[in-house]
Amino acid sequence: MIQDYFTELSQQLAPTGLNWENVRRAYAGRAYHNLTHLDEMIGHLPQHAAPQDPVVFGVALVYHDIVHKPTRSDNEERSARSAERDLRQDTSISAERIDRCRQLILSTKQHLPSPADDGDEALLIDLDLAVLARAPDSYDQYATAVRREFWMLPYFVFRNGRTRVLTALLDRPAIYHTAFGRDHYEAPARENLWRELRNL
């Protein structure tokens, strides 16, 4: 699914640095932040209103986790730089659109859209967090995969960090930013987050 999506994106751009093998290698070997995660996001996309700039949005979706080192805090910044570098090779893409791609990726860091969002940041964030609304058994598989990605941390360190993440999401008035997300993801996501928090 993601490879077909990437191919369609590439066909709408002049020859650029976008290369499927680079993407595939970057996402390989991860327990959760992998190509299956991108497939899941794309699977939810048709249920939402279309993005304002589908091409730039698509590049941001593909690149948003292209750099993911569990112990680093600058993964989104590095992923955004990777997207910028590859898009700059296409002279038909304006600097404004490249900057928009950068902002889309950065919005996934705190999962909060910027004040200037035209709706695409909210959409990307909600797709990224749609995993939280899985059926309980499937959500548990996701939580297990996240722990595997942080295998290098002692459990008590992981538990403290994970507790902060879950609590921060639960403390928000709404986890999701699109109408569809609030209507369809919010309630099951909160149930899953509370259950994981209780079981940590």
pLDDT tens over the chain, length 200 residues: 899 999 998 888 866 678 899 999 999 999 999 999 999 999 999 999 999 999 999 999 999 999 999 999 999 999 999 999 999 987 788 999 999 999 999 999 999 999 999 999 999 999 999 999 999 999 999 999 999 999 999 999 999 999 999 999 999 999 999 999 999 999 999 999 999 999 99
The separation between CA 85 and the C-alpha centre of its own chain, rounded to angstroms, equals 19
As given in the structure block, the two tokens for residue 102 are 């950068």
The total of other beta-carbon atoms located within 10 Å of residue 91's CB is: 9
Distance CA 36, CA 81 (A): 23
Query: Which are the contacts of 93, defined by CB distance < 8 A and separation ≥ 6?
Result: 13, 16, 56, 87
Burial of 86 (0-12, 13-18, 19+ CB in 10 A): buried
This prediction has a pTM of 0.96
